Amino acid sequence: MRKTYGDAYAEDLRFVARRVVGEENFIDMTPNRSNNYCCGGGGGALQAGYTEGRRHFGKLKTDQILATGAAYCIAPCHNCHSQIHDLSEHFKGGWHTVHLWTLICLSLGCLGENERAYLGPDLAEVGL
C-alpha cells in the first residue's frame, strides 16, 4: 500500500475483510495503513539467510498482532503469509495465518476439504 496504490486500496481490502468475517470479528492493528510496520518477509529477507535478524525484525509485527487478541491474521501477500506464519510458530503467538482467498471461499460456503491447511480447529469443519 505504502509503496504502490496508497491507502485507498487498503480501504478496499478492509471492505473485503469486514464482509467475509463480519464487522464484529474484524480487528484492525495499530498502527495501520501506510503507518503500519513491515512484517519482515519482503525484500528478499525470507531467502537472505539471516534468520535470526528476520525474526527480530518481525517482533514488532508479532507484538502488533498479539495486541489485537485476534485468533487469525489475514495476510494477502505471499511473503507476508510465510513470515507471519513463521513468527506465530517461533514466538508461540498462537494465532493462525490465513490467505484472503481462504476466508472468501469459506464465507461463500465453497471452501473444499483440501483447502483448509491454515484454518484452526474452530473453523476447520465449518461449511463442509
Positions that interact with another protein (CB under 8 A): 2-3, 34-35, 37-38, 40-45, 47-50, 53-54, 56-61, 77-79, 82, 99, 101-102, 104-105, 108, 110-112, 114-115, 117
Supply the minimum distance, in Å, between the C-beta of residue 24 and another protein: 24
Q: How far is the CB of 106 from another protein (least distance, A)?
A: 9
CB of 119 to another protein, least distance (A): 12
Kindly state the smallest distance separating residue 23's Cβ from another protein, in Å: 21
Residue 4 vs 24, nearer CB to another protein: 4
DSSP string, the chain: -TTTT-HHHHHHHHHHHHHHH-GGG----SS-GGGPPP-S-TTTHHHHS-HHHHHHHTHHHHHHHHHHT-SEEE--SHHHHHHHHHHHHHTT---EEE-HHHHHHHHHT---GGG-TT--HHHHTTT-
Give whichever of 24 and 113 is closer to another protein, judged by the CB atom: 113
